[in-house]
Structure 1
Amino acid sequence: MRRRGILLLGGVLLPATARAMTPCEPGTRAGVLAELRFGLLLPNGDDVTDAQWRTFRSDILDPVLRSRITERDEPPVTRPRPQRIRAVFAEVRASWSPDAPPALPPEVQSVIRAWTARFPEAPVEARLLPVCIAVR
C-alpha cells in the first residue's frame, strides 16, 4: 500500500510519495510532519480574523512547535455547514510505526488545547504523516 506524504522544501510543501519505513532519497531524511487543520468559521457565524490568526500563530504555534511552519488556506468546505480551513504543517519528534500511527506529541496536543481555549467549539484536527524532508 502506498502512502501519500509531504516533502518540505524551503518552506514550500510539495506532494511526494513516501512509504513509512522506506529509506528516503539522497538529499532527504526521514521525518514526521504534523498536519493541523483549523476551522476559521466559528459556530456563531463569526470568522477568526487575520489579526486573531496572526496573534495565535505568534503566541502559540511558533513558540510551542519551535520548527519551521508552513500554512495554506484550503478550499472552503460547504458540508455539513460552510467552513474555511487553514492547514498548518510542522516537523515534530515522533517515532513512526508501520503497525499503528503514533500518539500526538505533547506540543501538538498543547496547540490543540490553546486553539480550543481561544475559540471554543471551533473545529481543529491533527494527524501525523511519515515524510522525507529536504536536508538543508
Structure 2
Amino acid sequence: MALAARPAAALTPCLPGTRAGVLAHLRFGLLLPEGDAVTEAQWATFRADILDPVLRTAVTQRDEAPVTQPRPQRTRSVFAEVRAAWSPDAPPPLPDTVVSIMRAWTARFPAAPVEAQLLPACLAH
C-alpha cells in the first residue's frame, strides 16, 4: 500500500486503482517550551520505539514550514492509514492507536505540542 493519498471529497467514489480509507494526520512540535529542540536522534528513537510498532503500517512524514505565532515552532507531520469507519456527518473518534502515540509523545517530551486529526482519503493499493 502506498500513501499516495488525495482527499476524498466527502468520500466520492475513488479513482480506479485506489480505495477509500482513513488517514491519521499527526503533527508533532519539535521545539519544546524551554527552547530545546527534539533532535533527529530522539525523533528516530521515538519512531522506532513507538510510532512504527504501534501503527504497523506505512508511514510518511514531512516537515512543515516553521511558524512564529503564538511562539516559534517547527512541526513534523506524519500520515498513516488507520482503521476507522468514516461518516461525513460525524468524523470518528481518534483510534486508540493514535491516542497512545500522542500520550507516548507527551510522556517523552512533556509540554511538547502534538495534535491529530482523521482525514478521509483515496489510497493507492
TM-score of the aligned structures, taking structure 1 as reference length: 0.88
Instruction: Give the counterpart of 2:97 among 103, 107, 110.
Output: 107
Instruction: Give the counterpart of 2:3 among 8, 21, 24.
Output: 8
The 8 Å contact of residues 20 and 96 in structure 1, kept in 2 or not, is answered as no
Looking at structure 2, the residues matched to 17 and 31 of structure 1 have their Cα atoms a distance apart, in angstroms, of: 10
Corresponding position: 1:93 with 2:83: yes
Listed as ranges, the matches of 1:50-61 within 5 Å are 50-61=40-51
Amino acid aligned to 1:8: L
Matching residue of 1:46: 36
Change (3 A) 1:114 1:17: closer
Q: Greater relative contact order: 1 or 2 (C-alpha under 8 angstroms, separation 6 or more)?
A: 2
Between Structure 1 and Structure 2, which shows a larger proportion of helix residues? 2
Corresponding position: 1:125 with 2:115: yes
Looking at structure 1, the residues matched to 11 and 76 of structure 2 have their Cα atoms a distance apart, in angstroms, of: 29
Shift of 1:22: 1.6
Matching residue of 2:58: 68
Aligned residues: 124
Looking at structure 1, the residues matched to 63 and 88 of structure 2 have their Cα atoms a distance apart, in angstroms, of: 30
Matching residue of 1:37: 27
Where do 5+ consecutive residues of structure 1 fail to align? 1-6
- Please, what is the CA RMSD of the aligned residues? 1.2
Where do 5+ consecutive residues of structure 2 fail to align? none
Q: Deviations over 1:10-50 (max 9, x none)?
A: xxx6xx34223321110000000000000000000000000
TM-score of the aligned structures, taking structure 2 as reference length: 0.95
Runs of 4+ off more than 2 Å: none
Looking at structure 2, the residues matched to 77 and 105 of structure 1 have their Cα atoms a distance apart, in angstroms, of: 28
Matching residue of 1:3: none
